[in-house]
Structure 1
């Protein structure tokens, strides 16, 4: 591993022409290097913003720079750090890097800034990998997943599991120290119960990571609209089977109707919901309607694709769209809404509204294009949402599987009455495996694989 105390420098912004560009430095000699190139610092132990000039030599000469300086360990990397902001010109930025390198800095390796943040305890490994996910995100789905991982949604539960494992290991080993005395730190029954809970949590996390890193996750497609708008007919046509009850009576669907199929290699959960309606409190169906509407709303808000069905032969499409947009509340940021005009065989389709798909389950018109649109979105969703965490999944799956196997072995040893020294050995393996995921336990090889995928300057 390279010396983490050396001062490193790199361009931290895109090298394409821009109003502003950034050169980043980190290391123990940041302040002295800045002063050696003509940037005055107050030597105060607090963050500073300094307007100055750096002479880049012929032909560029002196240029204006704004320096953001963190002179102590209270920075992203846990070291003295600085960012030099100036014109976003590649030759200018490269010349600044050259001047700073001549003054004592060395060129940073890919991901070295983030690796120093990890080594300083600012980030754990899943969060460091999420930094790369944020950088590479091109669509909101990938950005959402990367930001969640950066916020610790993977690390926190794993650290809680590891902490409880350490507590159990301490109890087991304490019992070994007092094996000749009548002292029980934890009963076998309690040990098995607590290990079983942790094992289930580790397995759930492992399966989730494997699905994200390789196989495609299930996408939820929910059908919404007024009663008798043709939702059930349409879902049957899309699925190619009679999965939803169809009748001419409005309000046939009360409970959620759900079925899973595979569409072009993607697993789809098709969800038929109750039509949007309200009833007076004195109506005998009031309570049932309230319950069905709440159930439909939850399904809609959790969906990846919402198919809004409006009867083209009866309703004003734009008016219904405005109503639905204000009615259904929040949804997943990565979801999409598709607006479908049903029963198009009953109208003149030569005059159509833009942004609507006209369908007829009688003639089959529009069903194929709608199915293709859903398939295309789900395929792109899988690609963008998996991409930001695929590196984490690939790195973590083996360690999580190892931890789960060790916990399972420990449970079996306790149940068979084997010696607790064997149980303690398995628990230590499980603790170490979980530590490999969060970065509590790491090797140079692990760090190389994680940070080698970064670009220089990050």
Structure 2
């Protein structure tokens, strides 16, 4: 990838629309576009001020391709940090391609995935973690993921890491200086202050690492498995949560033989609901495979909803009420024992078929019970509120830094490992030359996050996930 080329790409979504935006960036962007643009007021595009918009036509020889608005960004005052022209044309796919092909013939090169943002990083307009946040912002589909991406793109995470790195670098310089005067036995780095810094860095790193558990599920959606016996209303509950007929509902037990997934935003947080096959003993091979997948989905879920039929119509008629409830409690304990760390919400469905005394009896028999009627929509909003209780959104409300990127998480873990080695060196009066090695490694991992330490392979992997026009 030659970063000195002038590149072009469609910056708006592909396909027909009201308007499309074609972005041209590079040292010759204005030079290439000027003869192709005929201003309605006869202006010379190259002589206009930066950050101005001009109305006119894109001309291919004598042929008018379209009436357009051209946005001009001169010098380094652009998204990419280099001369940029953005052409807003009509959204016909034909017009888009005609203009792009014209620009390619006149000296532009087709941009690769994420190349505009890569140039922004190379030209110092943003650091690497901010560049990655651009992709997260484009992909955000709920309030929480949008808020996290915006906070990171504004440099919240970068600033925190950069400040720690600079303070550590200052002490590293003093340690290195001591090595130059090793024969004179002098100490330039105050060990007490250094211990305080290392303790503070350790605390911040652990907080950021811990935040990844929250950030990752917010970014990707929190998976919630709906499990229970066949015909207790799992598919009806999924439909009620989504407020649409997403899953097939039938009185026939075992209708759901594979998992059905759909997403819903609750309180700005994305949840991915998984309707699973009913758990029961079966000789049906296909249903058995569905039940096997149910347990796989429970393992992958962040939250499990165990649903049972409060009217007991799904259980054997020969059992007494007490025996039926006991069978439910046994199933609940099985899930708790098999997945002890999974948050479990126990939900009684079809309570509309019970009297008030029967509901009270049920609640006294099974603790921490949530009651609802999926068919009538009763108690569904309360269940949504209960799901939000499992998400730690305090950090979002306080605008704290939350780590969502697995690359950052890995670098933070490695940095913490090196900082703990430095702490050990301070506690055991390790020689400065050995401590300096661990400090350098910690600085290296900090630099990996912001892009002060990078390579072509890493950049290729990161920007390959971007859309072409960004």
Q: TM-score range with shorter-chain normalisation?
A: 0.5 to 0.7
Write the mapping of 1:179-258 to structure 2, written as runs, cut at 5 A.
179-181=182-184, 183-213=186-216
Looking at structure 2, the residues matched to 89 and 55 of structure 1 have their Cα atoms a distance apart, in angstroms, of: 17
Corresponding pairs, count: 324
Is the CA contact (8 Å cut-off) linking 2:31 and 2:46 kept in structure 1? no
Write the mapping of 1:332-351 to structure 2, written as runs, cut at 5 A.
none
Answer yes or no: is 1:449 the counterpart of 2:461: yes
* SS of 1:154 mapped into structure 2: helix
Which range is displaced more, 149-158 or 26-35? 149-158
- Residue 227 of structure 1 corresponds to none
Is the CA contact (8 Å cut-off) linking 1:10 and 1:25 kept in structure 2? yes
Deviation at 1:397, TM superposition (A): 2.1
Write the mapping of 1:7-406 to structure 2, written as runs, cut at 5 A.
7-39=6-38, 40-44=44-48, 46-55=50-59, 61-181=64-184, 183-213=186-216, 265-266=301-302, 366-367=371-372, 370=379, 373-374=383-384, 393-406=405-418
Deviation at 1:191, TM superposition (A): 2.0
CA deviation string 1:357-376 (max 9, x = no partner): xx965666844754784389
CA deviation string 1:126-179 (max 9, x = no partner): 211111112122222221221111122211111111111101101211222223
- Residue 239 of structure 1 corresponds to none
Looking at structure 2, the residues matched to 78 and 455 of structure 1 have their Cα atoms a distance apart, in angstroms, of: 19
Change in Cα spacing, 1:431 to 1:86, as seen in structure 2 (3 Å) is same
- Residue 236 of structure 1 corresponds to none
Change in Cα spacing, 1:218 to 1:375, as seen in structure 2 (3 Å) is farther
> What is the TM-score with the length of structure 2 in the denominator?
0.61
Which range is displaced more, 14-23 or 183-192? 183-192
Is the CA contact (8 Å cut-off) linking 1:218 and 1:267 kept in structure 2? no
Q: CA RMSD in A?
A: 3.8
> What is the TM-score with the length of structure 1 in the denominator?
0.63
- Residue 424 of structure 1 corresponds to 436
Change in Cα spacing, 1:114 to 1:391, as seen in structure 2 (3 Å) is farther
Is the CA contact (8 Å cut-off) linking 1:20 and 1:87 kept in structure 2? yes
Looking at structure 1, the residues matched to 198 and 402 of structure 2 have their Cα atoms a distance apart, in angstroms, of: 28
